[in-house]
Structure 1
Amino acid sequence: MCRWTPAAAHLCPEAALGTTTAAASAGRPLPLPSAASICLACLSLLLVTAGTATGACPPGVGHEPFQVLAGGINCSWTLERHTRSYNHLEGDVRLRRLYSANKFFLCIDKTGKVDGTRRKNYADSLMEIRSVSVGVVAIKSVSTGLYLAMSKKGTLFGSVKYNPSCKFKERIEENGYNTYASLRWKHGGRQMFVSLNGRGKPRRGHKARRRHPSTHFLPMLPS
C-alpha cells in the first residue's frame, strides 16, 4: 500500500509540522491531500523500491548520482549495463568427411597429397574442421595431422604447420553444399576454390568456379 506523505514535508519539514499542529489545535480537520500529491508520493516510493531491488538508480538517471529523490534519499548508485555475451564460433570443431558433388571424399595422405576417394570410411578422409574466425575454417586430416592448404598457384597440398595458406572461407550454397575458397590467395581478383574433378583429382583453384559441382562439398558426420 502507498502511504501518503504531505508534499510540503519533503520541502520544509518544520513548516509541515507547524501546519499540522495548528490545525489540530484549532479543531479543524487536516487538509486532504490532492490527487497530484498522492500520485507523486506513490511514484516516488515505487522508484525508490525499484532502485533498491535492482541495485541501480531509477530509469532516466545517468551515471551521475541522484541528488534528491522525492523522499529525500540520495542515490549514489550508477546504472549497470549488462552486455550480453554471444558465443563466437571461433574455436568450434567439427569432425566431418567432405563429400563432393562428384561423389568423392576429400582426403590428405601422409605424404601431403590431396586426393579424392570413394571409400566411405577411409581414415585419411576424416577431417577436423575448425572455425578460426567468422566464416573462415581450417581443415586438418585426423589420421595424418596435415592441414589442407592452397598455394599461390591454386594447388592443394597437405601442410605440416598451420599458416595463412590453410585458411578457407566456408560458404553454404543454395543447394545445401559448402564451398571452400582460399582466404589468402586469389587469381586475377577471383577466388580460388577447393575442387575435385570427375575423376576425384584436385583441380587448380583458378580453374574452379563457385557454380561448378566440383567445388561443392557436403560435410558428412562420420559413421
Structure 2
Amino acid sequence: MAKIGGRNTVFAWFVGLVSLAVVAGLVWLAAPMAPVVLAWTGQIVDSALDPRAAPPSAQPSPSPTVSVPPPAQNEAVGAPTACGDLYPRALWDQLKAADGTSLDESIEFPPSSVAGLPEALGAQVTIGCAWTDASGAATVTVADVDPSAVQTAQNVLPATGFVCTPLPDIPLTDGVRCDLPAGDQSAAETHVLRTGRWLAVVRTFPGPPFDQANAEARVWPSNSTGG
C-alpha cells in the first residue's frame, strides 16, 4: 500500500500526546490514594509472612451458680411430746408393724408396785405409752415432777425393794435411778428422775422391746446418762 507522506506521523504524535495527558491525569487523580494502597499492600504482605491467630470469638459468660445451703439441722433435740419420740425410728416402725402388738397412749400414771408414787412425786404425766402383746406388756411414762421428787424417790423406793443409784455426773443438779427386778408375780420397774422430769418404765418379761438408753437420751437430750 502506498504511504501518504506526513499524515500518519503527525496523527501518531497527536494520539501519543493525548494518551500521555490522560495517563498523567489519572496519576494525578490517584495520588491521594497512594498511602492507603501502600498500607493495604503492606498488611497483606505482612500477614502472609507472619500470620497471627484470629482473635478468639466472644464466649458467653456462664450463668452464676447459686449454691443452695444445706438444710439446717437441729443441734439439740427438744423434749419428747409423743410416744414415737421415745424410740429409735427402726424400733418404733418394728413395734407399729408387729402383728398382735397394740399401743395405748391414754395412760395417766405408770402401773408401779408402789402405791401413791405419782402423787408423792407431784407428777403431771406428759407422755404415756402402754404396749401389749401375747407375751407381756411394757409401759413407758414421762412426767414433770416437783423439785423435791429426787429426794422423795430416794427416801421411799429403797424401802420397797428398789436399788437406787445417785447420778452425780449431772452438773449443777442431782438425779437418781431406782431399779426393781422382775419377780414371779411382778413386773420389773426402772425410775429415773432428774431436772424436774421422771421417766418410768414398767415391763414384764418377755414383752414388747424397749430401748432404755435411747429413751433417756430423748427425755434429757442435753445430758443423757445411758442405762
TM-score, normalising length: structure 2: 0.25
Between structures 1 and 2, the one with greater helix share: 2
Between structures 1 and 2, the one with greater strand share: 1
TM-score, normalising length: structure 1: 0.25
Question: Which one has the largest radius of gyration?
Answer: 2
